[in-house]
Amino acid sequence: MSKLLVHLITGPENPTRGALAFLVARTAAAAGHEVSLFLAGDGVGYLRDATMDAAQGIGTGSVREHWTALAEAGVPLYASGMSSKARALDASGVGDKTVEFAPPDRLVELILEADRVVTY
């Protein structure tokens, strides 16, 4: 199976695109691929519970439902530390989600390790 990195930089202002990123990651994980999800830029906004609960894409489903499936599948979730800090988001703001706040060099490593990268 392949290694896929899904890189979400689009924020809650476009829930259809955001939900699509989570859906693609979920679908790939369910198919047995090794998946990582990296949120950066405005995409880190989805880590807030209220935002995740409200985000519903048109034809792409619920971000919360996709997130739950990803967590159950053990898909690692990374968030840009710089993007998170700029948006006043830290470990206390993500609830019970397992998230690694990562620097840009970790994103570069994930890109180089992946067979494919998709960005939303």
Fold exhibited by the domain 3-119: Hypothetical Protein Ychn; Chain: A, (3.40.1260)
Sorted by where each begins, the domain ranges of the chain are 3-119
Please state the three-class secondary structure of the chain as a single string. CCEEEEEECCCCCCHHHHHHHHHHHHHHHHCCCEEEEEECHHHHHHHCHHHHHHCEECCCEEHHHHHHHHHHHCCCEEEEHHHHHHCCCCHHHCCCCCCEEECHHHHHHHHHHCCEEEEC
* Per-residue pLDDT tens over the stretch 70-117: 999 999 999 999 999 999 998 888 888 999 999 999 999 999 999 999
pTM: 0.95
Query: Strand pairing of 100-102 and 77-80?
Result: parallel
